[in-house]
Amino acid sequence: MGEVGVDGMEGASEDQKPGDQSSEGEDSHDEENGDIAADHGQEESLPPERIVLVVMICVIQGYTLVGPLQHAFKQSLHISDDSPNGRIFTQAAALVQWFKWSMTLAQNFLLQCLSVKARVYLSMVCMMLGCLIPPVFIYSLGHLWIGWAFLSFGLVGMSLGVFEVAYLNVITPLGPLTKSWAIIGFPASFAIINVIGFTLVSFGMPVAVLFWYIVLCMPVGLIIFAKRIVPKLRVGSVDSGPAASGRVLKSNKQAKVWNSVRHWYAWVPILCPYILAHFVTDFVMEGALPANFNTFNSDKVPLFGPTDNHLMDKHRFFVVFFVFVGLSDMASRRFAYCFALDTLLKNIVALCFGVTCSVLGMCLTILGIGAVSWASAALTFFGQGFNYAVASKSIDKFIPREHNLAAYSLWMFIGSAGAIAGSTLVDQIRFWICRGEVYTHQCLDHVHGHYTGTRIYRALQFLFF
Protein backbone atom coordinates (compact mmCIF):
# COMPACT_ATOMS: atom_id res chain seq x y z
CA MET A 1 0.00 0.00 0.00
CA GLY A 2 1.48 3.37 -1.04
CA GLU A 3 2.17 5.61 1.91
CA VAL A 4 3.35 9.17 2.36
CA GLY A 5 5.52 10.41 5.22
CA VAL A 6 5.54 13.90 6.59
CA ASP A 7 8.18 14.83 4.03
CA GLY A 8 6.09 13.44 1.20
CA MET A 9 8.30 10.39 0.57
CA GLU A 10 6.71 7.24 -0.68
CA GLY A 11 6.94 4.32 1.70
CA ALA A 12 8.34 1.52 -0.43
CA SER A 13 7.59 -1.99 0.72
CA GLU A 14 10.51 -4.36 1.17
CA ASP A 15 11.41 -6.59 -1.77
CA GLN A 16 9.89 -10.04 -1.58
CA LYS A 17 10.51 -13.09 -3.68
CA PRO A 18 7.34 -14.50 -5.22
CA GLY A 19 7.87 -17.88 -3.66
CA ASP A 20 8.34 -16.52 -0.17
CA GLN A 21 5.21 -14.41 0.16
CA SER A 22 3.47 -16.72 2.62
CA SER A 23 6.40 -17.10 5.01
CA GLU A 24 8.68 -14.09 4.64
CA GLY A 25 5.68 -11.83 4.07
CA GLU A 26 4.31 -12.74 7.50
CA ASP A 27 7.74 -12.28 9.07
CA SER A 28 8.04 -8.87 7.42
CA HIS A 29 4.56 -7.92 8.70
CA ASP A 30 5.43 -9.01 12.23
CA GLU A 31 8.70 -7.10 12.08
CA GLU A 32 6.89 -3.97 10.91
CA ASN A 33 4.35 -4.27 13.72
CA GLY A 34 7.23 -4.61 16.15
CA ASP A 35 8.84 -1.47 14.79
CA ILE A 36 5.59 0.45 15.09
CA ALA A 37 5.06 -0.76 18.65
CA ALA A 38 8.60 0.30 19.48
CA ASP A 39 7.97 3.70 17.94
CA HIS A 40 4.81 4.13 19.99
CA GLY A 41 6.65 3.10 23.13
CA GLN A 42 9.38 5.60 22.34
CA GLU A 43 6.82 8.35 21.78
CA GLU A 44 5.17 7.74 25.16
CA SER A 45 8.49 8.37 26.92
CA LEU A 46 9.59 11.39 24.89
CA PRO A 47 9.89 14.67 26.84
CA PRO A 48 7.47 17.44 25.85
CA GLU A 49 8.53 19.92 23.18
CA ARG A 50 6.67 22.92 24.56
CA ILE A 51 7.75 25.08 21.64
CA VAL A 52 4.91 23.55 19.61
CA LEU A 53 2.52 25.71 21.63
CA VAL A 54 4.22 28.88 20.37
CA VAL A 55 3.75 27.80 16.74
CA MET A 56 0.09 27.00 17.36
CA ILE A 57 -0.50 30.38 19.00
CA CYS A 58 1.26 32.27 16.20
CA VAL A 59 -1.08 30.73 13.63
CA ILE A 60 -4.36 30.41 15.54
CA GLN A 61 -4.26 34.07 16.56
CA GLY A 62 -5.34 34.70 12.98
CA TYR A 63 -8.61 32.99 13.89
CA THR A 64 -9.43 35.93 16.16
CA LEU A 65 -10.43 37.88 13.05
CA VAL A 66 -13.84 36.23 13.57
CA GLY A 67 -13.80 37.19 17.25
CA PRO A 68 -13.78 40.72 18.65
CA LEU A 69 -11.51 41.84 15.81
CA GLN A 70 -14.36 41.09 13.41
CA HIS A 71 -16.25 44.11 14.69
CA ALA A 72 -13.11 46.27 14.50
CA PHE A 73 -12.59 45.06 10.92
CA LYS A 74 -16.19 46.03 10.08
CA GLN A 75 -15.83 49.46 11.65
CA SER A 76 -12.61 50.13 9.73
CA LEU A 77 -14.60 49.63 6.51
CA HIS A 78 -17.16 52.19 7.76
CA ILE A 79 -19.90 49.53 7.81
CA SER A 80 -22.72 49.69 10.37
CA ASP A 81 -24.28 46.56 11.85
CA ASP A 82 -27.77 47.02 10.40
CA SER A 83 -26.84 48.29 6.93
CA PRO A 84 -27.03 46.17 3.74
CA ASN A 85 -23.21 46.14 3.67
CA GLY A 86 -23.29 44.93 7.25
CA ARG A 87 -25.20 41.84 6.19
CA ILE A 88 -22.79 41.32 3.30
CA PHE A 89 -19.88 41.59 5.72
CA THR A 90 -21.49 38.94 7.94
CA GLN A 91 -21.57 36.57 4.97
CA ALA A 92 -17.90 37.31 4.33
CA ALA A 93 -17.08 36.45 7.94
CA ALA A 94 -19.03 33.20 7.60
CA LEU A 95 -16.52 32.11 4.94
CA VAL A 96 -14.06 31.41 7.75
CA GLN A 97 -16.30 28.73 9.19
CA TRP A 98 -17.41 27.23 5.89
CA PHE A 99 -13.89 27.05 4.46
CA LYS A 100 -12.45 25.74 7.73
CA TRP A 101 -15.11 23.05 7.85
CA SER A 102 -14.68 21.97 4.22
CA MET A 103 -10.87 22.07 4.09
CA THR A 104 -10.42 19.80 7.10
CA LEU A 105 -11.51 16.99 4.81
CA ALA A 106 -11.03 18.39 1.31
CA GLN A 107 -7.30 18.93 1.78
CA ASN A 108 -6.79 15.18 1.55
CA PHE A 109 -8.07 15.28 -2.02
CA LEU A 110 -7.15 18.77 -3.23
CA LEU A 111 -3.66 18.81 -1.69
CA GLN A 112 -2.75 15.14 -1.89
CA CYS A 113 0.20 16.05 -4.12
CA LEU A 114 1.75 17.91 -1.15
CA SER A 115 3.38 16.30 1.85
CA VAL A 116 1.75 16.96 5.20
CA LYS A 117 4.68 19.13 6.23
CA ALA A 118 4.30 21.18 3.04
CA ARG A 119 0.63 21.70 3.89
CA VAL A 120 1.65 23.18 7.24
CA TYR A 121 3.95 25.66 5.49
CA LEU A 122 1.28 26.50 2.90
CA SER A 123 -1.38 27.12 5.54
CA MET A 124 0.96 29.39 7.50
CA VAL A 125 1.69 31.52 4.43
CA CYS A 126 -2.01 31.76 3.50
CA MET A 127 -2.90 32.71 7.07
CA MET A 128 -0.31 35.48 7.03
CA LEU A 129 -1.66 36.82 3.73
CA GLY A 130 -5.25 36.74 5.02
CA CYS A 131 -4.33 38.59 8.21
CA LEU A 132 -2.16 41.08 6.30
CA ILE A 133 -5.09 42.48 4.32
CA PRO A 134 -6.77 44.58 7.10
CA PRO A 135 -3.66 46.40 8.40
CA VAL A 136 -2.14 47.04 4.95
CA PHE A 137 -5.03 47.74 2.59
CA ILE A 138 -7.57 49.18 5.03
CA TYR A 139 -5.75 50.75 8.00
CA SER A 140 -2.63 51.88 6.11
CA LEU A 141 -3.83 52.55 2.55
CA GLY A 142 -7.43 53.43 3.38
CA HIS A 143 -9.04 51.15 0.78
CA LEU A 144 -12.67 50.56 1.82
CA TRP A 145 -13.55 47.88 -0.74
CA ILE A 146 -15.74 45.27 0.95
CA GLY A 147 -14.13 42.59 -1.21
CA TRP A 148 -11.09 42.74 1.08
CA ALA A 149 -13.25 41.11 3.77
CA PHE A 150 -14.06 38.16 1.49
CA LEU A 151 -10.40 37.69 0.55
CA SER A 152 -9.19 37.98 4.13
CA PHE A 153 -11.78 35.70 5.72
CA GLY A 154 -11.55 33.20 2.86
CA LEU A 155 -7.79 32.83 3.23
CA VAL A 156 -8.06 32.56 7.02
CA GLY A 157 -10.74 29.85 6.79
CA MET A 158 -8.88 27.72 4.27
CA SER A 159 -5.67 28.05 6.25
CA LEU A 160 -7.33 26.96 9.48
CA GLY A 161 -8.91 23.91 7.90
CA VAL A 162 -5.56 22.75 6.55
CA PHE A 163 -3.31 23.77 9.44
CA GLU A 164 -5.10 22.22 12.40
CA VAL A 165 -5.29 18.76 10.84
CA ALA A 166 -1.83 18.79 9.25
CA TYR A 167 -0.02 20.23 12.26
CA LEU A 168 -1.50 17.75 14.73
CA ASN A 169 -0.50 14.92 12.41
CA VAL A 170 3.05 16.17 11.80
CA ILE A 171 3.94 16.51 15.49
CA THR A 172 2.51 13.11 16.44
CA PRO A 173 5.97 11.41 16.50
CA LEU A 174 7.05 13.87 19.19
CA GLY A 175 4.76 12.07 21.61
CA PRO A 176 1.59 12.69 23.63
CA LEU A 177 3.28 15.05 26.09
CA THR A 178 4.14 17.36 23.21
CA LYS A 179 0.65 17.04 21.73
CA SER A 180 -0.84 18.02 25.09
CA TRP A 181 0.92 21.38 24.82
CA ALA A 182 0.03 21.97 21.18
CA ILE A 183 -3.73 21.67 21.69
CA ILE A 184 -3.70 24.46 24.28
CA GLY A 185 -2.99 26.82 21.39
CA PHE A 186 -6.64 27.54 20.61
CA PRO A 187 -7.77 28.85 24.01
CA ALA A 188 -4.39 30.52 24.62
CA SER A 189 -4.60 32.44 21.33
CA PHE A 190 -8.06 33.78 22.05
CA ALA A 191 -7.08 34.66 25.62
CA ILE A 192 -4.10 36.70 24.38
CA ILE A 193 -6.21 38.73 21.95
CA ASN A 194 -9.44 38.89 23.98
CA VAL A 195 -8.12 39.63 27.43
CA ILE A 196 -4.64 41.11 27.03
CA GLY A 197 -5.01 42.69 23.59
CA PHE A 198 -8.35 44.36 24.09
CA THR A 199 -7.45 45.45 27.59
CA LEU A 200 -4.62 47.43 25.99
CA VAL A 201 -7.08 48.75 23.39
CA SER A 202 -9.38 49.91 26.19
CA PHE A 203 -6.47 51.99 27.52
CA GLY A 204 -6.00 53.72 24.18
CA MET A 205 -3.84 51.44 22.04
CA PRO A 206 -4.98 51.57 18.37
CA VAL A 207 -6.70 48.35 17.35
CA ALA A 208 -4.55 48.30 14.20
CA VAL A 209 -1.63 47.36 16.46
CA LEU A 210 -3.37 44.06 17.22
CA PHE A 211 -3.68 43.30 13.51
CA TRP A 212 0.02 44.02 12.98
CA TYR A 213 0.95 41.93 16.03
CA ILE A 214 -0.93 38.94 14.60
CA VAL A 215 0.75 39.34 11.20
CA LEU A 216 4.25 39.69 12.66
CA CYS A 217 3.79 36.54 14.73
CA MET A 218 3.22 34.45 11.59
CA PRO A 219 6.83 34.39 10.29
CA VAL A 220 8.01 33.75 13.84
CA GLY A 221 5.84 30.64 14.00
CA LEU A 222 7.00 29.50 10.56
CA ILE A 223 10.69 29.89 11.48
CA ILE A 224 10.23 28.04 14.78
CA PHE A 225 8.45 25.21 12.99
CA ALA A 226 11.21 24.93 10.37
CA LYS A 227 14.18 25.31 12.72
CA ARG A 228 13.01 23.77 15.99
CA ILE A 229 10.28 21.24 15.22
CA VAL A 230 11.03 19.69 11.82
CA PRO A 231 14.60 18.73 12.88
CA LYS A 232 13.14 16.99 15.94
CA LEU A 233 11.07 14.79 13.65
CA ARG A 234 14.28 13.57 12.03
CA VAL A 235 16.17 13.19 15.31
CA GLY A 236 13.34 11.03 16.62
CA SER A 237 13.38 8.76 13.59
CA VAL A 238 14.02 5.03 13.67
CA ASP A 239 17.64 5.38 12.59
CA SER A 240 18.50 8.39 14.76
CA GLY A 241 22.00 8.82 16.08
CA PRO A 242 25.31 10.33 15.02
CA ALA A 243 25.04 8.74 11.57
CA ALA A 244 21.28 9.18 11.18
CA SER A 245 20.01 9.60 7.65
CA GLY A 246 17.05 11.70 8.80
CA ARG A 247 14.49 9.11 7.62
CA VAL A 248 10.93 9.81 8.75
CA LEU A 249 9.49 7.61 11.47
CA LYS A 250 8.02 4.53 9.85
CA SER A 251 5.01 4.72 12.15
CA ASN A 252 4.10 8.20 10.90
CA LYS A 253 3.92 7.42 7.19
CA GLN A 254 0.43 8.26 5.99
CA ALA A 255 -1.60 6.15 3.59
CA LYS A 256 -2.80 7.75 0.40
CA VAL A 257 -6.28 9.11 0.93
CA TRP A 258 -7.93 6.53 -1.30
CA ASN A 259 -6.22 3.73 0.63
CA SER A 260 -7.63 5.16 3.85
CA VAL A 261 -11.07 5.28 2.24
CA ARG A 262 -10.76 1.68 1.04
CA HIS A 263 -9.66 0.50 4.47
CA TRP A 264 -12.23 2.53 6.41
CA TYR A 265 -13.12 -0.52 8.50
CA ALA A 266 -9.67 -0.39 10.11
CA TRP A 267 -10.13 3.06 11.65
CA VAL A 268 -13.63 4.57 11.25
CA PRO A 269 -15.35 2.25 13.79
CA ILE A 270 -12.68 3.13 16.36
CA LEU A 271 -13.22 6.82 15.65
CA CYS A 272 -17.02 6.81 15.95
CA PRO A 273 -17.34 7.52 19.72
CA TYR A 274 -14.95 10.46 19.44
CA ILE A 275 -16.80 11.84 16.41
CA LEU A 276 -20.14 11.65 18.22
CA ALA A 277 -18.79 13.35 21.35
CA HIS A 278 -17.08 16.06 19.28
CA PHE A 279 -20.29 16.74 17.37
CA VAL A 280 -22.31 17.10 20.58
CA THR A 281 -19.84 19.29 22.48
CA ASP A 282 -19.28 21.60 19.50
CA PHE A 283 -23.04 21.74 18.91
CA VAL A 284 -23.60 22.85 22.51
CA MET A 285 -20.68 25.28 22.50
CA GLU A 286 -21.77 27.12 19.37
CA GLY A 287 -25.44 27.06 20.33
CA ALA A 288 -25.38 28.02 24.00
CA LEU A 289 -22.60 30.55 24.24
CA PRO A 290 -23.60 33.03 21.52
CA ALA A 291 -27.01 33.07 23.18
CA ASN A 292 -25.37 34.73 26.18
CA PHE A 293 -24.48 37.73 24.03
CA ASN A 294 -27.97 37.96 22.62
CA THR A 295 -29.40 37.77 26.14
CA PHE A 296 -27.12 40.10 28.11
CA ASN A 297 -27.31 42.81 25.45
CA SER A 298 -27.76 45.96 27.54
CA ASP A 299 -25.03 48.30 28.79
CA LYS A 300 -25.48 46.74 32.23
CA VAL A 301 -25.84 43.07 33.18
CA PRO A 302 -28.00 41.99 36.16
CA LEU A 303 -25.96 39.42 38.07
CA PHE A 304 -28.60 37.42 39.93
CA GLY A 305 -31.64 37.38 37.67
CA PRO A 306 -33.41 39.42 34.97
CA THR A 307 -34.97 41.82 37.49
CA ASP A 308 -32.04 41.96 39.91
CA ASN A 309 -30.65 45.37 40.88
CA HIS A 310 -27.03 44.24 41.24
CA LEU A 311 -25.73 45.50 37.90
CA MET A 312 -22.31 45.13 36.28
CA ASP A 313 -20.86 46.93 33.28
CA LYS A 314 -21.24 44.71 30.22
CA HIS A 315 -17.60 45.01 29.17
CA ARG A 316 -16.34 43.99 32.62
CA PHE A 317 -18.92 41.23 32.79
CA PHE A 318 -17.63 39.66 29.59
CA VAL A 319 -13.99 40.11 30.62
CA VAL A 320 -14.77 37.89 33.62
CA PHE A 321 -16.77 35.63 31.31
CA PHE A 322 -13.75 35.03 29.07
CA VAL A 323 -11.41 34.50 31.98
CA PHE A 324 -13.65 31.57 32.93
CA VAL A 325 -13.71 30.43 29.29
CA GLY A 326 -9.95 30.57 28.80
CA LEU A 327 -8.93 29.00 32.09
CA SER A 328 -11.44 26.15 31.89
CA ASP A 329 -10.61 25.37 28.26
CA MET A 330 -6.85 25.30 28.83
CA ALA A 331 -7.14 23.38 32.10
CA SER A 332 -9.41 20.72 30.61
CA ARG A 333 -7.01 19.96 27.76
CA ARG A 334 -4.14 19.43 30.18
CA PHE A 335 -6.36 17.53 32.61
CA ALA A 336 -7.36 14.94 30.00
CA TYR A 337 -3.72 14.02 29.37
CA CYS A 338 -3.30 13.12 33.06
CA PHE A 339 -5.25 9.88 32.53
CA ALA A 340 -3.95 6.71 30.89
CA LEU A 341 -7.20 6.02 28.98
CA ASP A 342 -5.74 2.76 27.70
CA THR A 343 -9.01 0.88 27.19
CA LEU A 344 -12.16 1.55 25.18
CA LEU A 345 -14.29 1.60 28.34
CA LYS A 346 -12.12 4.26 29.97
CA ASN A 347 -12.34 6.39 26.85
CA ILE A 348 -16.12 6.05 26.68
CA VAL A 349 -16.39 7.10 30.33
CA ALA A 350 -14.12 10.09 29.67
CA LEU A 351 -16.15 11.15 26.62
CA CYS A 352 -19.39 10.84 28.58
CA PHE A 353 -17.89 13.03 31.30
CA GLY A 354 -17.03 15.71 28.74
CA VAL A 355 -20.47 15.57 27.14
CA THR A 356 -22.11 15.78 30.57
CA CYS A 357 -20.13 18.93 31.37
CA SER A 358 -21.22 20.51 28.09
CA VAL A 359 -24.90 19.61 28.51
CA LEU A 360 -24.88 20.84 32.11
CA GLY A 361 -23.37 24.08 30.85
CA MET A 362 -26.24 24.39 28.37
CA CYS A 363 -28.79 23.85 31.15
CA LEU A 364 -27.19 26.57 33.27
CA THR A 365 -27.19 28.93 30.29
CA ILE A 366 -30.95 28.53 29.90
CA LEU A 367 -31.44 29.82 33.46
CA GLY A 368 -30.52 33.28 32.15
CA ILE A 369 -28.73 34.37 35.34
CA GLY A 370 -25.68 36.56 34.78
CA ALA A 371 -23.33 35.19 37.43
CA VAL A 372 -24.40 31.62 36.65
CA SER A 373 -23.47 32.16 33.00
CA TRP A 374 -19.82 32.30 34.07
CA ALA A 375 -20.14 28.78 35.42
CA SER A 376 -22.08 27.67 32.35
CA ALA A 377 -19.32 28.96 30.06
CA ALA A 378 -16.67 27.25 32.15
CA LEU A 379 -18.51 23.91 32.07
CA THR A 380 -19.26 24.10 28.35
CA PHE A 381 -15.68 24.86 27.39
CA PHE A 382 -14.30 22.39 29.91
CA GLY A 383 -16.36 19.62 28.33
CA GLN A 384 -15.42 20.60 24.78
CA GLY A 385 -11.72 20.99 25.58
CA PHE A 386 -11.62 17.77 27.61
CA ASN A 387 -13.12 15.71 24.79
CA TYR A 388 -10.83 17.40 22.25
CA ALA A 389 -7.83 16.24 24.28
CA VAL A 390 -9.21 12.74 24.85
CA ALA A 391 -9.81 12.33 21.13
CA SER A 392 -6.42 13.65 20.03
CA LYS A 393 -4.65 11.39 22.50
CA SER A 394 -6.69 8.34 21.52
CA ILE A 395 -6.41 8.90 17.76
CA ASP A 396 -2.63 8.81 18.12
CA LYS A 397 -2.80 5.73 20.34
CA PHE A 398 -5.49 3.50 18.85
CA ILE A 399 -5.97 4.46 15.20
CA PRO A 400 -3.53 2.69 12.84
CA ARG A 401 -0.81 5.25 12.31
CA GLU A 402 -1.06 5.23 8.51
CA HIS A 403 -4.65 6.53 8.88
CA ASN A 404 -3.81 9.21 11.48
CA LEU A 405 -4.24 12.12 9.05
CA ALA A 406 -7.51 10.76 7.66
CA ALA A 407 -8.82 10.22 11.19
CA TYR A 408 -8.06 13.77 12.30
CA SER A 409 -9.68 15.09 9.12
CA LEU A 410 -12.93 13.16 9.54
CA TRP A 411 -13.12 13.85 13.27
CA MET A 412 -12.75 17.61 12.79
CA PHE A 413 -14.99 17.68 9.72
CA ILE A 414 -17.98 16.19 11.53
CA GLY A 415 -17.26 18.11 14.73
CA SER A 416 -17.29 21.39 12.81
CA ALA A 417 -20.57 20.35 11.21
CA GLY A 418 -22.00 20.02 14.72
CA ALA A 419 -20.82 23.53 15.54
CA ILE A 420 -22.42 24.98 12.42
CA ALA A 421 -25.65 23.13 13.22
CA GLY A 422 -25.59 24.42 16.79
CA SER A 423 -25.16 28.01 15.68
CA THR A 424 -28.50 27.85 13.85
CA LEU A 425 -30.27 27.37 17.22
CA VAL A 426 -28.95 30.55 18.85
CA ASP A 427 -32.28 32.38 18.58
CA GLN A 428 -34.20 29.36 19.84
CA ILE A 429 -31.95 29.08 22.88
CA ARG A 430 -32.38 32.80 23.50
CA PHE A 431 -36.15 32.25 23.44
CA TRP A 432 -35.78 29.50 26.07
CA ILE A 433 -33.75 31.90 28.22
CA CYS A 434 -35.99 34.96 27.85
CA ARG A 435 -39.31 33.09 27.57
CA GLY A 436 -40.65 35.85 25.37
CA GLU A 437 -40.03 38.55 28.00
CA VAL A 438 -38.14 41.83 27.60
CA TYR A 439 -36.43 43.24 30.70
CA THR A 440 -34.76 46.56 31.44
CA HIS A 441 -31.21 45.17 31.27
CA GLN A 442 -31.71 41.78 29.65
CA CYS A 443 -33.33 40.18 26.62
CA LEU A 444 -33.65 43.46 24.71
CA ASP A 445 -35.11 43.23 21.24
CA HIS A 446 -32.33 44.93 19.27
CA VAL A 447 -29.29 43.59 17.36
CA HIS A 448 -29.61 39.87 17.81
CA GLY A 449 -31.36 38.45 14.79
CA HIS A 450 -28.64 38.78 12.16
CA TYR A 451 -26.29 36.38 13.95
CA THR A 452 -28.50 33.37 13.32
CA GLY A 453 -26.95 30.74 11.07
CA THR A 454 -23.40 32.06 11.37
CA ARG A 455 -21.07 29.99 13.44
CA ILE A 456 -19.50 32.37 15.97
CA TYR A 457 -16.33 30.65 17.05
CA ARG A 458 -16.18 30.48 20.80
CA ALA A 459 -18.77 33.26 21.03
CA LEU A 460 -16.23 36.05 21.04
CA GLN A 461 -17.78 38.45 18.54
CA PHE A 462 -19.30 41.05 20.86
CA LEU A 463 -16.76 41.45 23.64
CA PHE A 464 -15.88 45.09 23.02
CA PHE A 465 -18.63 47.09 21.34
In a domain, 37, yes or no: no
| Within a domain: 416 | yes
Nearest-angstrom CA–CA distance, 426 and 432: 10
Residues 245 and 259 in one domain: no
Domain shared by 182 and 262, yes or no: no
- As a whole number, mean pLDDT of residues 146-165 equals 94
**CA end-to-end distance (rounded Å), the chain:** 55
Model pLDDT for residues 332-373, shown as the tens digit of each residue: 999 999 888 889 899 999 999 999 999 999 999 999 898 999
- List, as one string, the DSSP characters of 3-42: EE-TT--B-PPPP--GGGTTTHHHHHHHHHHHHHHHHHHH
Name the residue with higher pLDDT: 18 or 392. 392
Q: How far apart are CA 378 and CA 321, in angstroms?
A: 8
Cα–Cα distance, 406 to 254 (Å, whole number): 8
Q: Any idea what the CATH number is for the domain that residue 128 is in?
A: 1.20.1250.20
Q: Are residues 113 and 137 in the same domain?
A: yes
Work out the average pLDDT over 435-464: 54
* pLDDT tens for each residue of 373-413: 999 999 999 999 999 999 999 999 999 999 999 999 999 99
Are residues 80 and 218 located together in one domain of the fold? yes
| Structural domain boundaries enclosing 73 | 46-253
CA distance 368 to 9: 55
Contact 83, 441 (CB under 8 A): no
Task: State the CB neighbour count (10 A cutoff) for residue 344.
Answer: 12
| Domain assignment present for 3 | no
